[in-house]
């Protein structure tokens, strides 16, 4: 294909000559894609008419941090196979290098090293290259200052020399000032950009992200401006779908905010999409559709004028009810984002049925998030510098927001859902340094680079009971293996296996600090060495993918009998039964078009929520704001306003159920690789939506004062003045609004000081088990009593049996008074087996204690008389009986800051680490609706489990309310 010089005006010939570049740049921070994923990408790109791929993963250490290092023989084989695979699909493979962190531009030795590295890749068959100078200090070294006139001159000199040395191949450059807000002082007057335009070889293409790092819109005016300065049409490095700056967001919406009318003005477009390969089908598919539009220029501009269609569409979907319709007159060569999304979903659906195994752990885009006041500087993000120079706010490059600076700072603060130390901003936490060229499942670690993950594959032979067949599996160093007999195999550093029975030191260590201890391992969701409510996005030990046994395509991790760092080994007969059961379940749980439409709406775009996501926001906010209507539920249930409230509450329940079905259908799909890419996001938002629905169910009881709205509005939410306007305008980079729809929904829960309660650690191995939280009903008493009895002694049941007349003793002591006096402040959590946990509270502990003393204690003293001669009960049971008889003499808590009291307990089988947090959050929201902002709990000093349990829920010891033999813990909300 003949090279065409790019022209700085609208007579760009790229389209007419078929020379428009369209493809993908793998340029994000985080775990790189695998060799097989890239090969799959090349096949899809060819099918969709795309032509270019840029290899530039920031966390391939030989691309950036250690750019000087040559590839090993094994790495070379992988890279060669990639280049060959791309060529076979007619995809131009651009190999990119990022030497800007520490290169000395004036050093002939350094330039020689750079040439040597690129020469090596050229020997692999690569014919196209790129040098990336993004995310680096814009200052030259002293040595360079003596040789070069400016930073731009230094980069141009090296780039031109490399370009000539390699024989003038296809070549990209990403400048340090790669968007309008980074141009100093602006695009037109930037000495740096003008130097690039005038001095860089004309055949070299220059990358540009638009007005911002992540541009809401690309306009003709903006493109013309940069084209004039660079003296060539830019190649757009499009970060619209990039998600490496926010752990909570993934972008499944269509390519939008860019009119196809831009195509003649551009050299090309490369999307730098989500970190998770499987999450990029829509992003890449819709870009391909976009690139094929307007080829002949015969479009009706009144239907899709530049950006007006996108803006109009957002307005239409504001109520979450409309905007789904695509104009009936849409011609084949026109682009409409919603239609493009539908087309993409139709083609994406079959991908979930393909049998693919997971190649690594469920992972978030990044291991740490740093939050500081506006402008937000994440610890790791797309095309964004980690230097202190970017933290200044006086440069004038940040556009004036719609709301004032104080509001924006507050917005930024409430967007955070994690606690961060300040120095994490300048010195990010050590992250895994990865090179995925070698293997799908192997992580290459340079010993000189800090790395918290040290996976050491260790082959382990497992001999199932009553079976001569030996099963071999590969696990990671540090993995804990359990079988049905509760035998524990602890993999040591030397590869030896320590085996012990349940109850020994190893087992006790695993249960002592776990929030939800398991006696029944059949529904494990997480048993990693990290703490039970560890807020880290990356576990201390990442799970290896379990090797397939007996040639089955079934992913062992699927069956809910295995978990992170733990595998349940079953007999072969039982394994076959489990596989059959799972296969039957999958037939009933096939993903549908509606499932994926909902998924895309929940994770839409950086500056726009999807229609169904907006509907969730609208419905919950309306129900909460109008909850005062149901206070008089018993008097006027026929009132039309009340009927509307309950109808909309029912609709909220239906939407929640739709999300649950999506979650379950996704979890049972054949494509485990795709599931692992999406699972943590869907798991996260499903939990939040379930929590919202639980709170609506509680509101339906009308158990709160009419003044409730004054307590539950929330300081900054989607419905606060200026919030959504600023979010949707694109004037702020999207990392200012962290968390996406998940966070916007969370902020509607009336627990202002509860960010820690929204930090959930997703299971390391997918499970489709759903836990539902709802208000307590009188018919639940027996099951709640049973849960209480099984968890009464430091999280476990009293090991000694109780006679029939004392079977309810512990439950009467711990939970009975709450269920009797304040059933409206009792919540239960249930799964398909029944109730597995509860949380109860009293809004005013002083009044509650008085009621208990007058109405509950006398009854209990009659029910449980003191009998010193009894020998059939434990000391613990005797103390519990004495509790009722000595109740009046006990010292109790009287705290103005923590006026409410509560208790919470879950069965050891509940290993979903988010359940206790959601349960307590719902209860705290109920207390807040009644004007309480602080709660306390009391336990014995030797209750180590209970102390740890509440500690993970944000409770801290209250030394001002010290009681002998007791620990008082409290938290505000």
Residues marked as catalytic: 135
Q: Which of 394, 364, 401 is nearest to 379 (CA)?
A: 364
The Cβ-side half-sphere exposure at 322, using a 13 Å CA radius, reads 7
Structure tokens at 283: 């992003």
Q: Which of 830, 848, 790 has the alpha carbon at shortest distance from 919?
A: 830
CB 555 within 8 A of CB 358: yes
Cα 120 to Cα 127: distance, rounded to the nearest angstrom: 12
Answer yes or no: are the C-beta atoms of 129 and 170 closer than 8 Å: yes
Name residue, tokens 């570049």: 21
Q: State whether residue 413 is helix, strand or coil.
A: helix
Burial class (CB in 10 A: 0-12, 13-18, 19+), 657: middle
How far apart CA 324 and CA 314 sit, in angstroms, is 10
- The helix-helix angle for 220-230 and 191-199 (nearest 10°) equals 60
DSSP 89-154: TT-EEEEEE--TTT--TT-HHHHHHHHHHHHHHHHTT--EEEEE--SS-S---HHHHTT-SSHHHH
Between CA 4 and CA 13 the distance in angstroms is: 8
Which residue is listed with tokens 């409230």? 645
Contact between 497 and 534 under an 8 Å Cβ cutoff? The reply is: no
Q: Are 135 and 384 in contact (CB under 8 A)?
A: yes
Number of CB atoms found within 10 A of residue 296's CB: 8
Are the C-beta atoms of residues 564 and 571 closer than 8 Å to each other?
no
Contact present, 179 and 208 (Cβ < 8 Å): yes
Backbone angles phi, psi at 963, to 5 degrees: -130, 130
For tokens 């009188």, the residue is 778
Say how far apart CA 172 and CA 160 lie, in whole Å.
Answer: 11
Residue pair 523/909 in contact (Cβ under 8 Å)? The answer is: yes
Selection from 972, 515, 921 nearest residue 693 by Cα: 921
| Closest alpha carbon to 375 in 345, 353, 396 | 396
CB burial readout 683-695, b (16+ within 10 A) else e: bbbbbbbbbbbbb
In 3D space, the residue among 732, 737, 692, 756 whose CA is nearest the CA of residue 925 turns out to be 692
* Angle in degrees, CA 100, 105, 107, rounded to 5: 130
Nearest 10 degrees: Cα torsion 325, 330, 332, 335: -70
- Please give the Cα distance from 411 to 402 (Å, whole number): 12
How would you classify the pairing of strands 205-208 and 772-775? unpaired
Q: In whole angstroms, give the CA distance from residue 753 to residue 770.
A: 27
CA distances to 179, 358, 403, 952 from 440, rounded to whole Å, are 34, 10, 47, 35
| Cβ atoms of residues 172 and 207 within 8 Å | yes
Intra-chain end-to-end CA distance of the chain, in Å: 65
Q: How many helices (H) and strands (E) does the chain have?
A: 28, 21
Count CA atoms closer than 13 A to 674's CA, side-chain side.
23
Closest by CA to 287, choosing from 300, 302, 301, 274, is: 274
């Amino acid at each position: 294909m003949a090279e065409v010089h790019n022209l700085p005006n609208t007579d760009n010939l790229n389209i007419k000559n078929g020379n428009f570049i369209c493809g993908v740049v793998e340029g994000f921070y985080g775990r790189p894609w695998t060799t097989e994923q890239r090969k799959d990408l090349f096949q899809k790109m060819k099918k969709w008419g795309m032509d270019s791929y840029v290899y530039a993963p920031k966390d391939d250490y030989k691309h950036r941090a250690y750019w000087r290092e040559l590839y090993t023989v094994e790495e070379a084989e992988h890279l060669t196979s990639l280049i060959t695979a791309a060529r076979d699909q007619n995809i131009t493979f651009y190999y990119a290098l990022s030497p800007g962190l520490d290169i000395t531009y004036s050093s002939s030795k350094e330039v020689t090293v750079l040439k040597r590295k690129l020469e090596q890749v050229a020997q692999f068959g690569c014919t196209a290259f790129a040098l990336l100078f993004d995310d680096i200090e814009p200052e030259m070294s002293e040595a360079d200052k003596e040789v070069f006139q400016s930073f731009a001159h230094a980069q141009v000199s090296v780039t031109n020399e490399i370009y000539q040395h390699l024989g003038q191949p296809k070549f990209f450059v990403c400048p340090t000032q790669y968007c309008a807000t980074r141009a100093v002082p602006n695009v037109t007057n930037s000495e740096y950009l003008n130097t690039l335009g005038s001095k860089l070889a004309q055949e070299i293409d220059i990358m540009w992200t638009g007005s911002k790092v992540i541009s809401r819109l690309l306009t003709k005016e903006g493109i013309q401006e940069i084209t004039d300065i660079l003296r060539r049409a830019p190649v757009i490095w499009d970060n619209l779908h990039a998600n490496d700056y926010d752990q909570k967001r993934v972008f499944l919406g269509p390519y939008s905010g860019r009119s196809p009318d831009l195509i003649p003005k551009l050299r090309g477009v490369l999307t730098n999409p989500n970190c998770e390969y499987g999450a990029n089908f829509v992003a890449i598919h819709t870009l391909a559709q976009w690139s094929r539009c307007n080829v002949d220029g015969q479009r009706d501009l009144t239907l899709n004028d530049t950006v007006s269609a996108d803006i109009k569409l957002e307005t239409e979907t504001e109520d979450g009810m409309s905007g789904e319709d695509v104009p009936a007159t849409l011609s084949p060569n026109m682009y409409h984002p919603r239609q493009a999304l539908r087309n993409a979903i139709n083609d994406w659906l079959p991908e979930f049925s393909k049998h693919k195994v997971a190649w690594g752990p469920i992972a978030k885009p990044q291991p740490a998030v740093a939050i500081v006041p506006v402008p937000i500087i994440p610890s790791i993000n797309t095309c964004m510098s980690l230097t202190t120079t970017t933290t200044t706010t006086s440069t004038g490059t940040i556009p004036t927001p719609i709301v004032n600076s104080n509001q924006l700072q507050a917005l930024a603060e409430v967007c955070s859902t994690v606690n961060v130390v300040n120095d994490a901003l300048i010195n990010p936490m050590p992250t895994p340094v990865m090179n995925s060229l070698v293997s799908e499942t192997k992580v290459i670690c340079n010993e000189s680079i800090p790395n918290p993950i040290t996976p050491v594959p260790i082959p382990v032979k497992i001999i199932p009971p009553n079976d001569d067949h030996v099963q071999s599996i590969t696990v990671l160093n540090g993995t804990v293996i359990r079988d049905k007999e509760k035998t524990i195999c602890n993999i040591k550093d030397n590869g030896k296996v320590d085996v012990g029975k349940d109850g020994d030191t190893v087992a006790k260590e695993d249960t002592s600090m776990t929030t939800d201890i398991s006696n029944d391992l059949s529904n494990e969701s997480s048993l990693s060495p990290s703490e039970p409510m560890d807020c880290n996005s990356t576990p201390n030990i990442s799970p290896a993918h379990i090797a397939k046994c007996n040639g089955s395509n079934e992913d062992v991790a699927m069956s809910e009998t295995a978990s992170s760092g733990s595998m349940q080994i079953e007999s072969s007969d039982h394994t076959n039964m489990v596989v059959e059961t799972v296969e039957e379940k999958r037939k009933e749980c096939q993903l549908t078009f509606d499932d994926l439409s909902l998924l895309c709406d929940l994770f839409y775009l950086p500056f726009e929520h999807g229609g169904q996501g907006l509907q969730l926001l609208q419905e919950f906010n309306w129900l909460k704001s109008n909850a005062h209507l149901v206070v008089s539920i018993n008097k006027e249930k026929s009132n039309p306003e009340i009927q509307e409230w309950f109808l909309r509450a029912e609709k909220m329940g239906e939407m929640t159920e739709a999300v649950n079905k999506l979650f379950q259908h996704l979890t049972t799909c054949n494509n485990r690789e795709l599931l692992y890419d999406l699972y943590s996001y869907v798991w996260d938002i499903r939990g939040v939506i379930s929590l919202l629905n639980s709170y609506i169910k509680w509101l339906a009881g009308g158990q709160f004062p009419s003044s409730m709205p004054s307590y539950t509005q929330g300081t900054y939410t989607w419905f606060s003045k200026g919030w959504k306007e600023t979010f949707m305008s694109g004037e702020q980079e999207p990392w200012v609004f962290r968390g996406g729809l998940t966070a916007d929904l969370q902020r509607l829960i009336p627990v202002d000081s509860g960010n820690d309660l929204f930090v959930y650690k997703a299971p390391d191995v997918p499970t489709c088990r759903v836990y539902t939280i709802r208000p307590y009903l009188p018919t639940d008493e027996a099951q709640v009593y049973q849960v209480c009895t099984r968890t009464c002694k430091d999280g476990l049941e009293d090991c000694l049996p109780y006679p029939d007349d004392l079977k309810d003793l512990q439950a009467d002591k711990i939970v009975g008074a709450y269920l009797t006096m304040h059933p409206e402040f009792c919540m239960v959590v249930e799964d398909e087996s029944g109730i597995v946990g509860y949380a109860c509270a009293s809004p005013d502990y002083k009044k509650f204690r008085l009621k208990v003393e007058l109405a509950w204690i006398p009854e209990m003293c009659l029910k449980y008389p003191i009998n010193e001669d009894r020998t059939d009960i434990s000391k613990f049971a005797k103390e519990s009986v004495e509790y009722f008889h000595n109740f009046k003499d006990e010292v109790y808590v009287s705290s103005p800051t923590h006026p409410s009291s509560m208790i919470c307990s879950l069965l050891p089988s509940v290993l979903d680490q988010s359940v206790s947090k959601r349960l307590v959050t719902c209860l705290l929201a109920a207390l807040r609706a009644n004007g309480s902002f602080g709660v306390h709990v009391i336990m014995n000093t030797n209750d180590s489990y209970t102390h740890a349990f509440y500690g993970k829920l944000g409770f801290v010891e209250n030394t001002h309310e010290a009681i002998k033999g007791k620990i008082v813990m409290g938290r505000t909300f």
